[in-house]
Amino acid sequence: MNDQEEGYLTGQLLIAMPGMADPRFARTVVYICAHNEEGAMGLVVNRLIGSITFPDLLEQLDIESAGLGEDIEVHFGGPVESGRGFVLHSAEYEQDGTLKVTNLMSLTATIDILRDIASGGGPRHSMLALGYAGWGPGQLDSEIQANGWLNVEADEGLVFDQNLDGKWERAISKLGIDPSMLSGDAGHA
């Protein structure tokens, strides 16, 4: 029995409903890395931190760079452990400590993956985030039942697309829903 059959959302995208009360999650799209009876963990995939660049991060961690990664942006992964880095990436890259989320995506939170990205030996697709979104047991399920979130199947194109401005709308559109038709008071469409 897989997670989907049990009602868990590992490997799915959560889309914040327009009426999301928590401003940290307004109009966000969250990739769920783990969801089970103990709670859930995910990364916001459509919001940048802006105050730190990948080269800045490498310098702080004393990692040599081959001049690669100048265009890598650092995402706001969520409000929990905001100083901790996570790399969501395509699943062909693997090392000790890599969590295989699905057959297409994995999560690694080690300095080694940053070294590999900086030297050109990292994953085919990746997204670097500081912090994560976390939910306690049953919390995410309650938020979904209260119409706080919609969910949709994740795909590499949407997760790793660097055009963040329309990502929320594109995620909702995957459900066949016109975002302008949603209101903060609406139930699941």
Q: Is residue 120 part of a domain?
A: yes
Q: Is residue 5 part of a domain?
A: no
Q: Is residue 182 part of a domain?
A: no
Please indicate, yes or no, whether the overall pTM of this predicted structure exceeds 0.95: no
Domain containing residue 157? 12-177
pLDDT in tens, 125-147: 999 999 999 999 999 999 999 98
Number of domains in the chain: 1
Specify the CATH number for the domain of residue 136. Answer: 3.40.1740.10
> Do the Cβ atoms of 128 and 164 come closer than 8 Å?
no
Query: CA–CA separation, 10 vs 4, rounded Å?
Result: 8
Residue 170 pLDDT > 70: yes
Q: Is residue 148 part of a domain?
A: yes
Query: CA–CA separation, 25 vs 47, rounded Å?
Result: 9
**Confidence band for 188, pLDDT divided at 50, 70 and 90:** very low
Query: CA–CA separation, 144 vs 161, rounded Å?
Result: 25
| Distances from the Cα of 168 to the Cα of 58, 126, 150, 158, angstroms | 29, 19, 11, 10
Amino acid at residue number 51: S
Q: Is residue 7 part of a domain?
A: no
